[in-house]
C-alpha cells in the first residue's frame, strides 16, 4: 500500500489532470464560434464581390486587409485544433492514447497489471506535462484568432459600406 504522502500527491495530480482536461475542452469550445463569425463575414463579402462594377483603391485595400485578417484567424484556429508537440513526451505512458497504442495488447495488459503506485505517479507527471503544453498552445493560437477576427471588423465594415452602396445609374 502506498504511503500517505504519495497518495496525497497522486490525488493532487489527478485533480490537476482533470483541470487541464477541462481547460483544453474550454479552449476547444471557443473555436466553433470564431469559425462561424469568420466564415459569415467572409461569406457576406463573397456574395457581393461579383457585383462590384468598379474596384476603388479604398475598397480593394479594405477587402485585402479583411481577407488577410479573417484568413489568418482561420489559420490560427487550425493551429489550435491540431497543436503540435513532441510525441516523445508522451511515449511510454499508460495515460495517453499514443503511449497505449504504441504497445501490443499483451504488453499493455501486463504493464497495467504490474504498475506500481510510483509508476502511476510518474505517468501522471508525464501526462500533465504533455497536456500543459497542449493547453498552452491551444490558448496561444485561439487568442491570436480572436485578435485577428476583432482587427478585421473595421476593414470589414468599411468594405461592406463600399460593397452595399447603391450603384450609379
Per-domain residue ranges of the chain: 4-41+56-163
DSSP character at residue 87: G
- The fraction of the chain above a pLDDT of 70, given in percent, is 93
- Cβ neighbours of residue 110 closer than 8 Å, sequence gap 6 or more: none
Angle at 34 between CA 31 and CA 36, to 5 degrees: 110
Whole-angstrom Cα distance, residue 52 to residue 46? Answer: 11
Cell numbers standing for residue 64: 485585402
Q: Is the pLDDT of residue 99 over 90?
A: no
Q: Is 83 left (phi over 0), alpha (psi -120 to 50) or beta?
A: beta
pLDDT for 43-52, tens place per residue? 998 888 877 7
Whole-angstrom Cα distance, residue 79 to residue 109? Answer: 35
Cell numbers standing for residue 114: 504490474
| Average pLDDT estimate for 99-109 | 85
Lowest mean pLDDT among 68-72, 103-107, 127-131, 162-166: 162-166
* Greater model confidence, 11 or 1: 11
Whole-angstrom Cα distance, residue 149 to residue 37? Answer: 8
pLDDT of residue 156: 95
DSSP character at residue 165: S
Lowest mean pLDDT among 1-15, 58-72, 122-136: 1-15
Amino acid at each position: 500500500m502506498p504511503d500517505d504522502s504519495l497518495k496525497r500527491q497522486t490525488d493532487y495530480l489527478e485533480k490537476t489532470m482533470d483541470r487541464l482536461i477541462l481547460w483544453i475542452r474550454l479552449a476547444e469550445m471557443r473555436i466553433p464560434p470564431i469559425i462561424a463569425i469568420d466564415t459569415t463575414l467572409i461569406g457576406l463579402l463573397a456574395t457581393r464581390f461579383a457585383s462590384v462594377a468598379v474596384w476603388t483603391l479604398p475598397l480593394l485595400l479594405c477587402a485585402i486587409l479583411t481577407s488577410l485578417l479573417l484568413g489568418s484567424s482561420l489559420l490560427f484556429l487550425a493551429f489550435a485544433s491540431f497543436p503540435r508537440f513532441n510525441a516523445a513526451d508522451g511515449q511510454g505512458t499508460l495515460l495517453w492514447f499514443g503511449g497505449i497504442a504504441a504497445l501490443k495488447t499483451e504488453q499493455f495488459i501486463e504493464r497495467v497489471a504490474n504498475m506500481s503506485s510510483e509508476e502511476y505517479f510518474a505517468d501522471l507527471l508525464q501526462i500533465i506535462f504533455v497536456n500543459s503544453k497542449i493547453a498552452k498552445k491551444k490558448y496561444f493560437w485561439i487568442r491570436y484568432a480572436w485578435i485577428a477576427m476583432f482587427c478585421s471588423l473595421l476593414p470589414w465594415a468599411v468594405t461592406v459600406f463600399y460593397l452595399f452602396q447603391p450603384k450609379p445609374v
